Amino acid sequence: MKQISYFFLSLFLFISCGKEKNTISKESQFLSANSSDSFSPDSIDGKLEDTSKGLEVQIPMSNDQLKNWIPEKIGKMDQWKLIVGHKLGMQMSGAIATYRESGKEEQQISLEVLDGAGATGAVMLKSINQKLSLEYEEQLETGYSRIYEREKIRVWEKYNSLEHSSEIEYVIGERFHFRFKGHLIQMDELWEFVSEVMKEMY
């Protein structure tokens, strides 16, 4: 995969009930991968509380909206499995899509998205954001795990060289939680996939 020059081209604030996609805000230029700017965990609680209250009154995306939103193809990888509705028992909206390239079926990437709208989703998203606000890094013999700020987005990266697995997690648009997991995928390859997904979905 080619080297990433941009990994997010636009940020998404809210999706209206009557539309599958409604891009409100865009950002076309980003900082370096290790940017930290003026982030302060101490100041995040008030913002999270305001965001959570706003999300509580919004309507989560429907299964059909999710199916129309999730890309069927990313680069050379085709979507071969899609699960929607698995969070309905918890009154939440989400989807999991799995991708693989023809002839390289052993390499797979899963995309999981959770909609933070609704009472339950808002509580879940607030908890996730609190976790992502931590300054955390762990170096292991087989890889690493770290939470940091990448291009003004709080990101959790995990890599395991023994299991040949990589993982990226973040929240975008103050509403949607994304988690990408790669099997036999290097971290730079997973970031390239993330970049292509953001171009398709936003």
Per-residue pLDDT, 85 = 92
Distance CA 9, CA 12 (A): 10
Residues 6+ apart with CB under 8 A from 61: 15, 20, 69, 93, 115, 117
Q: What is the pTM of this model?
A: 0.79
Which fold does the domain 43-201 belong to in CATH?
Protein Transport Mog1p; Chain A (3.40.1000)
Per-residue pLDDT, 161 = 96
Residues paired with 115 in a beta bridge: 93, 176
Q: pLDDT tens per residue, the chain (202 residues)? A: 444 434 433 333 333 333 334 332 333 222 233 334 434 444 456 677 788 989 999 999 999 999 999 999 999 999 999 999 999 888 899 999 999 999 999 999 999 999 999 999 999 999 999 999 999 999 999 999 999 999 999 999 999 999 999 999 999 999 999 999 999 999 999 999 999 999 999 9
The three-point CA angle 152-158-161 to 5° equals: 140
Which sequence spans correspond to the domains of the chain? 43-201
Per-residue pLDDT, 46 = 62
